[in-house]
Amino acid sequence: MKNSKPALPGDLVDRLIDSYTSCGAEYHRLGGHELPSPVEVAQVLEGLRELLFPGFVSGALVPSGAPLREVLVARLDESAGRLRRQLYRGLRQKKNGAAAGDPCAPAELMTPAAAEAEAERITVSVLSRLPELRAALALDVAAAFDGDPAASGADEIIFSYPGVYAIAVYRVANLLFREGAHIIPRIMTEYAHQRTGVDIHPGATIGASFFIDHGTGIVIGETTVIGARVRIYQGVTLGALSLPHGRARRLSGEKRHPTIEDDVIIYANATILGGDTVIGRGAVIGGNAWITRSVAPGTKLTVAGSDR
């Protein structure tokens, strides 16, 4: 092949510039403030995982002979700086006209000073909760060990279980989401989605001792509520019904995804849809079930729909 340039259309540059200055301008930034970086957000996540699971992410957290306190201070400062920077960029990016439903509205950005103060507040709030987050993740790891007879121990689970990875990322992202930072936690959970095949919206509410077995193909929507000690398998969807005016429903804050009460088991490829759908405590949902109505507590539902 010759090292010649391809013969691109002569008007291509002009047409691209026109596309940048017409409707759809929110889909690009030509200069101005920096956008969030998915690469750097992933680095933030791995730094936080290193603090949550020391030794399991990139080797020993504390080099031989180094004082633990000094190492932790340095790691926390590094994570705080990276997180604050990405939150600042995300907060500056988020406030635009498209959020009001007009894709052609001009961008209306948060001021730099306001974004800097908010990024600082969220960073301090979330990092201050790392000890509590470690306690929550310990329950998730224990749930995986109790729920999977193939697990040899907590170390194997933390190193290699995609469900535990996805849950850890979700729990970090959920803290950020509830503090009002929406873009960065979405980038985080999509990063976990790419790595594990588990798609958990950071706005979902998930209780203690949550176990995802295998993981691939799981979808958990934004307004899903999951109780304690719930176990789900690969291919499960906890989603929304497809209804008219879906965007208006989302902007109204209406619940669109199901509620799963405590001690429920949902087997592979089951689909549970709708904000009014409640799976009662202790119910067992069989594989491949399709559910759009509530299920009573203690029910065992098969794919044929029979109760027993």
Specify the pLDDT at position 19: 79
> What one-character-per-residue DSSP string does 203-264 give?
T-EE-SS-EESS-TT-EE-TT-EE-SS-EE-TT-EEE----TTHHHHHHHT---S-EE-TT-
Specify the pLDDT at position 9: 87
Specify the pLDDT at position 34: 82
Specify the pLDDT at position 216: 96
Specify the pLDDT at position 109: 74
User: Tokens representing 240?
Assistant: 């929304």
User: Tokens representing 60?
Assistant: 């020993």
pTM over 0.85: yes
Which domains are present in the chain? 23-195 (1.10.3130.10), 217-308 (2.160.10.10)
User: Tokens representing 12?
Assistant: 């291509």
Specify the pLDDT at position 30: 60
Q: Are 235 and 204 spatial neighbours (Cβ–Cβ below 8 Å)? A: no
SS3 category, 283: coil
The backbone torsions φ and ψ at residue 291, rounded to the nearest 5 degrees and listed phi first, read -130, 125
pLDDT digits (tens), the chain, 308 positions: 566 778 888 888 888 888 777 765 555 666 666 889 999 999 999 999 999 999 898 877 777 777 888 889 999 999 999 999 999 999 987 654 444 455 555 556 788 899 999 999 999 999 999 999 999 999 999 999 999 999 999 999 999 999 999 999 999 999 999 999 989 999 999 999 999 999 999 999 999 999 999 999 999 999 999 999 999 999 999 999 976 554 555 556 789 999 999 999 999 999 999 999 999 999 999 999 999 999 999 999 987 654 44
Distance CA 175, CA 65 (A): 34
